[in-house]
């Protein structure tokens, strides 16, 4: 069962290119892995490692030392396009990412992300451009993503609101899933079931 | 349509040219440049005539019996280009049995293609079926992302008929021009295939 998640404060990794597909996020050859923790190494593998599997020198991209521990990604349009693999959000989560800001997400990726308590935050193209400029000007500024308030607070005091599917929001805040949600209503379900035969037993009527 | 880039939307007619940077919106130029750098292609050049290393006819997308019939109709009595690896992978065991009952497997094998068990194969670089870094493949699957068919591999997505015609010519080929292709040195291969049977 996942942990409840409500808020994260972090510096941001900006990859403002569009159409980053799931084969870049987690290449297909890692799909046989089912241990999610081990997937952190697979994240953006071919961008970080040479063709013979060695870490690029100097470390590139998310491996750059200043990116360690960052929890928020700022990416271009249509993030998560391509193959519908849950390994993509698994790898992002395993590496430590909790929220991704873009102008749009591929639909299946978005669904998979929400099931894994990874927040897909959609902003307008205008706001996206402003955020990319903000990170360029202030690469070490800390943002706070607050799921409860549906708000992102930017360094300097500015903030904006975002929307997440309300049921997914409830699940993530509670640290549960659909099954957990149903089970949390068990007393009501059992009470209903206990009283049910009397409601339908027409033979006695 | 044949793709030249690294997502399925980056495609042109087989008779067409890869877009020039000026042809696309300013916001899409970075994407185009990055895709062409990965693919080793030049903006504004034609897609037909590109040299191939591997041809993959199969996948859940284009591995139906109709697709195999279409590909076989092109390869029947022809021979795949020398040095080219051609994989034909039925979409399912049922499709495989149907194809064999129609003799399509014999057509592919006579042409010099590999007739394989059904599966994902080179669509997702499975079972060792993959491109080597820098190689070019034409594929009837529907995914052409960077590294999808093998690290550093470069994918052209195309129809089964276009892939089959390209298998004969060894380069990306408009199937409507295949009569001309067959009149080239490929004809020697064709007679060799006839003798073998």
To which residue do tokens 């029947």 refer?
B76
- Confidence class of residue A162 from pLDDT cuts 50, 70 and 90? very high
Residues of A in Cβ contact (< 8 Å) with B125: 28-29
Q: What is the mean pLDDT of chain A?
A: 93
What pLDDT sits at residue B184?
A: 42
What pLDDT sits at residue A205?
A: 52
pLDDT, one tens digit per residue, over A78-116 is 999 998 899 999 999 999 999 999 999 999 999 999 999
Phi, psi of B170 (to 5 degrees): 80, 0
Whether residue A194 has pLDDT greater than 70: yes
**In 10 A of CB B41, how many CB atoms?**
18
What pLDDT sits at residue B194?
A: 40
B 150-169 residues with CB < 8 A to A: 151-152
Mark yes or no for CB contact B125/A81 under 8 Å: no
- Cis bond upstream, residue A58 (ω within 30): yes
Distances B9 to A21, A81, A109, A193 between C-alpha atoms, Å: 13, 11, 18, 53
pLDDT, block means (10 residues), chain B with 197 residues: 95 96 88 95 96 97 96 96 97 97 97 96 90 96 94 96 97 87 42 40
What pLDDT sits at residue B196?
A: 41
Note the ipTM here.
0.71
Q: Is B37 left (phi over 0), alpha (psi -120 to 50) or beta?
A: alpha
DSSP-based three-state secondary structure for A140: coil
What pLDDT sits at residue A51?
A: 79
Distances B32 to A93, A185, B6, B20 between C-alpha atoms, Å: 29, 52, 9, 9
Indicate which of A16, A18, A19 best probes the interface with B, i.e. most B CBs within 10 Å of its own CB. A19
**0.90 cut: is pTM over it?**
no
Indicate which of A16, A21, A103 best probes the interface with B, i.e. most B CBs within 10 Å of its own CB. A21
What pLDDT sits at residue A199?
A: 86
For CA atoms A169, A173, A177, A178, the dihedral sign is: negative
What pLDDT sits at residue A37?
A: 77
Strand A12-15 with A72-75, pairing: parallel
Query: Are residues A24 and A47 in contact, defined by beta-carbon separation less than 8 angstroms?
Result: yes
To which residue do tokens 């470069």 refer?
B154
What pLDDT sits at residue B165?
A: 97
Task: Report all structural domains of chain A as residue ranges with CATH numbers, in order of start.
Answer: 7-195 (3.20.19.10)
DSSP-based three-state secondary structure for A164: coil
What pLDDT sits at residue B193?
A: 40
Mark yes or no for CB contact A23/B147 under 8 Å: yes
User: SS3 sequence, chain B?
Assistant: CEECCCCCCCEECCCCECCCHHHCCHHHHHHHHHHHHHHCCCCCCECCCCECCEEEEEHHHHCCHHHHHHHHHHHCCCCCCCCCEEEEECCCHHHHHHHHHCCHHHHHHHHCCEECCCCCHHHHCCCCCCCCCCCEEEECCCCCCCCCCCCCCEEEECCHHHHHHHHHHCECCCHHHHHHHHHCCHHHHHHHHHHHC
Distances A205 to A134, A193, A194, A199 between C-alpha atoms, Å: 72, 19, 18, 10
Mark yes or no for CB contact B31/A17 under 8 Å: yes
| Residue B162 to residue B1: CA distance in whole angstroms | 9
Residue A99 forms beta bridges with which residues?
A72, A119
Query: Are residues B113 and B138 in contact, defined by beta-carbon separation less than 8 angstroms?
Result: no
| Residue B110 to residue B113: CA distance in whole angstroms | 7
**What's the whole-number mean pLDDT along residues A51-74?**
91
| Residue A146 to residue A153: CA distance in whole angstroms | 8
Residue B54 forms beta bridges with which residues?
B85, B137
Distances B78 to A75, B71, B73, B173, B194 between C-alpha atoms, Å: 48, 11, 10, 15, 9
Query: Are residues B175 and B161 in contact, defined by beta-carbon separation less than 8 angstroms?
Result: yes
pLDDT, one tens digit per residue, over A16-36 is 999 999 999 999 888 888 778
Mark yes or no for CB contact A28/B148 under 8 Å: yes
């Amino acid at each position: 069962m996942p942990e409840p998640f409500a808020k994260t404060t972090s510096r941001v990794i900006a990859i403002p290119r569009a159409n980053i597909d799931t084969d870049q996020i987690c290449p297909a050859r890692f799909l046989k892995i089912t241990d999610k923790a081990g997937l952190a190494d697979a994240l953006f593998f071919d961008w970080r490692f040479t063709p013979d599997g060695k870490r690029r020198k100097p470390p590139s991209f998310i491996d750059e030392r200043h990116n360690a521990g960052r929890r928020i990604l700022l990416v271009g349009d249509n993030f998560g396009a391509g193959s519908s693999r849950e390994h993509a959000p698994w790898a992002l989560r395993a590496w430590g990412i909790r929220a991704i800001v873009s102008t749009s997400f591929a639909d299946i990726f978005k669904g998979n992300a929400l099931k894994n308590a990874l927040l897909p935050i959609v902003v307008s193209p205008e706001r996206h451009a402003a955020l990319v400029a903000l990170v360029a000007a202030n690469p070490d500024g800390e943002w706070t993503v607050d799921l409860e308030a549906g708000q992102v607070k930017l360094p300097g005091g500015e903030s904006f609101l975002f929307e997440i599917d309300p049921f997914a929001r409830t699940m993530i805040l509670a640290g549960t899933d659909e099954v957990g949600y149903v089970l949390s209503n068990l007393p009501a379900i059992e009470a209903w079931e206990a009283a049910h035969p009397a409601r339908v037993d027409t033979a006695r009527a | 349509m044949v793709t030249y880039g690294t997502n399925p939307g980056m495609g042109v007619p087989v008779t067409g040219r890869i877009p020039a940077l000026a042809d696309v919106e300013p916001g899409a130029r970075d994407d185009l440049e990055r895709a062409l750098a990965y693919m080793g292609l030049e903006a504004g050049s034609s897609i037909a005539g590109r040299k191939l290393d591997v041809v993959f006819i199969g996948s859940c997308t284009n591995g139906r019996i109709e697709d195999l019939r279409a590909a076989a109709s092109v390869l029947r009595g022809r021979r795949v280009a020398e040095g080219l690896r051609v994989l034909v992978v039925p979409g399912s065991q049922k499709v495989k049995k149907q194809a064999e009952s129609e003799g399509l497997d014999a057509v592919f094998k006579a042409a010099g293609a590999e007739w394989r068990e059904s599966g994902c194969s080179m669509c997702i670089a499975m079972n060792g079926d993959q491109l080597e870094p820098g190689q070019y493949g034409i594929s009837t699957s529907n995914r052409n992302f960077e590294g999808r068919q093998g690290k550093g591999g470069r994918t052209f997505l195309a129809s089964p008929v276009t892939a089959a015609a390209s298998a004969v010519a060894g380069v990306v080929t408009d199937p409507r021009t295949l009569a001309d292709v067959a009149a080239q040195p490929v004809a020697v291969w064709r007679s060799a295939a006839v003798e073998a049977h």
